[in-house]
Chain A
Amino acid sequence: MRRSRLLVQGSTLLLLIILWELTGRSGLLFPDLFPPWREIAWELWRQLSTDILIPHLKASLYEVGGGLALGALLAIPLGMVLGSRRSLTQTMEPMILYLAVVPKIIVLPVFILLFGIGAESKLAVAAAAAFFPIALLTIAGMREIRPVYLDVGRSVGATPLQMATSIYLPAILGYLFTGLRIGMGAAVTGALLAETKIAQAGLGFLIVDYYTQFRIAEMYSLFFLIFLLAAAANRALSLAFSLIAPLPRAQAEEGFFF
């Protein structure tokens, strides 16, 4: 069964490459969109072997990392507070859901006014994007806690802080981690998308730079790199987290947050 799966995947890939080359050469459909694979591979090699990517990679990493950290810093305590009482959850969770549907990139103008055109405004967008999945999943985790744990905590006279750190936090770890992982995806999308609009450096900035100069093959190679990095980071987080705590079932809505 496994072999036939690989066979299908392999032959699809082959078919894709062949169709690509044919479409590109014949110029029938969107001729500019299909540069030869060899050119894409060459550009990929060129970008990896020189240090042109380094400043952009640094900028994007700073924005994504900082954004994720800031978003988590705000979302986790808030999620824990909101998830602790049913009345709070009922009042506030719908608001968070309404706001989650808004693409955070739209708030970029306000961040630019506040923080300028440097990396900080992009970090703010990433933080705003990451906030929502982390908050929502933290709340979900809080609601799933078995009441017996809470009773035990209360019966030994734990203070709210002790309850938070020794009872709640370990119990919601699985949900929290999933929230962080999805939040990272949201931060990546948010930061890089914002870079395409107004920025001085970064992978998203580079995409648009290539686009305006019509360097399509380089754009493709950059896409490949970005998606590979994002997938690898996602997988790495998954593995790392699952070592510490069991994770809830995979969420279908993963790519939804940005």
Chain B
Amino acid sequence: MKRGFLLVALSVWLLSALPALASTHGAKITIGVPHRVLFDTAVPIYVAEEKGFFKAAGLEVNTVFVKGGGENVQAVVAGDVHVGLATGLFAILSAFSKGAPIQVVSAEMTGLQEIYWYVLADSPYRTMDSLAGKRIAYSNLGSSTHMAVLGVIELLQSKKLKAPEAVALGSVPDTFTGIKTGQAEAGWSAPPFFLDRIEKGELRIAFRGDEIPKFREVTIRVNFANADFLKKNPGAARAFFKTYQQSLDFMFKNQEETVKIWMKRADLKMAEPTVKKTYDFYSKGALNLRPIKGIQVTLEDAAKFGFLKKALTQEELDRLIDLTYLP
């Protein structure tokens, strides 16, 4: 009688422990995604979710969509988000230099090949050079598009052409409104936006990001994380980046299926072949998670634009960049 009772008690205790076991197995991580639609930003997450990569790795991923890199940095600094994706280095450097608990954990995009500047079809501009002395749009202060346009200005000046004017017009739709209302001659965009309008002949690509030599071998965007989270949950961070790499591999091996997932999750209203043209703008190498290239160029530019008071020392850089969570 007593032994039976003990057995029941033991099994009840064991059974109650099981849910606890299950929950520690499902590590939780909150990621900040600065755009719902852009290929390199959002699609890896969509693919990982749809193909069950997160679940297979035992990860419970809470996706928070924020409005751009700046917001992402604020969210990670505050601890609301654990890992921030696809964010430009300037705001990260700035926060880090003020003592914010953040670390760069991987590269996200190296080079500017995916960004292109378009003009209205009925305008006379056909190349970067033709935009000398005209207004070229970027999104906002310190963004990769800002750096790109400044690079264009440098480039044209070195060719003894009249320097174009850099105009901040905001996001892709805001910029489009700005171009239509004549606030600038060339607007920026990234796939899949306006691929259909370009096909239809409404817009024309004037130049692409990889025409600016300065940034071809510079890591433009990185993935970063809250340092306290990394210390407490290194396993979750590693698991996340393992699945992230898995997603990237899948995206380039299975282009058709990736496009389908992308169109479904981002609610794209374009024809599939048009969306597939995105692959013309991305090479797999550009999305390599390591190494972080061209950090000196980035540091110089950051100091030039007031994001850093002085360049970081090597010791500080080593503290900032930690690639050990990558597979």
Contacts and interface: CB of A to CB of B under 8 A. Distances in A.
Contacts of B173: 212-214
Contacts of A113: 74, 77-78
Given A118-B80, A200-B65, 15 more contacts: A113-B74, A115-B78, A116-B78, A116-B80, A117-B71, A117-B80, A198-B67, A198-B71, A198-B74, A200-B64, A212-B171, A212-B174, A213-B173, A214-B173, A214-B177
A118 B78 CA distance: 10
Nearest to B170: A212
Q: Classify chain A: how many residues form its interface, as a range.
A: 10 to 19
A112 interface: yes
Interface of A: 112-113, 115-118, 198, 200, 212-214
Interface in B65-83: 65-67, 71, 74-75, 77-80
Contacts of B74: 112-113, 116-117, 198
A213 B267 CA distance: 13
B77 to A, nearest CB: 7
Contacts of B64: 200
Interface of B: 64-67, 71, 74-75, 77-80, 171, 173-174, 177
B66 to A, nearest CB: 7
B67 A112 contact: no
B142 to A, nearest CB: 16
B174 A117 contact: no
16 contacts: A112-B78, A113-B74, A113-B78, A116-B74, A116-B75, A116-B79, A117-B71, A117-B74, A200-B64, A200-B65, A212-B171, A212-B173, A212-B174, A213-B173, A214-B173, A214-B177
Nearest to A109: B74
Nearest to B80: A116
Residue with the highest number of chain A CB atoms closer than 10 Å, among B64, B71, B174: B71
Contacts of A115: 78
B169 to A, nearest CB: 13
B171 A117 contact: no
Nearest to B77: A113
A34 to B, nearest CB: 16
A4 to B, nearest CB: 43
A118 B71 CA distance: 11
A15 B66 CA distance: 42
Nearest to A208: B67
A212 B193 CA distance: 14
Nearest to B71: A198
Q: Which 4 A-B pairs have the closest CB atoms?
A: A116-B78, A116-B80, A117-B75, A117-B80
A133 to B, nearest CB: 29
A212 B173 CA distance: 6
Contacts of B65: 200
A214 B170 CA distance: 14
A143 B71 CA distance: 45
Contacts of A214: 173, 177
A136 B67 CA distance: 37
Contacts of B71: 117, 198
Contacts of A117: 66, 71, 74-75, 78, 80
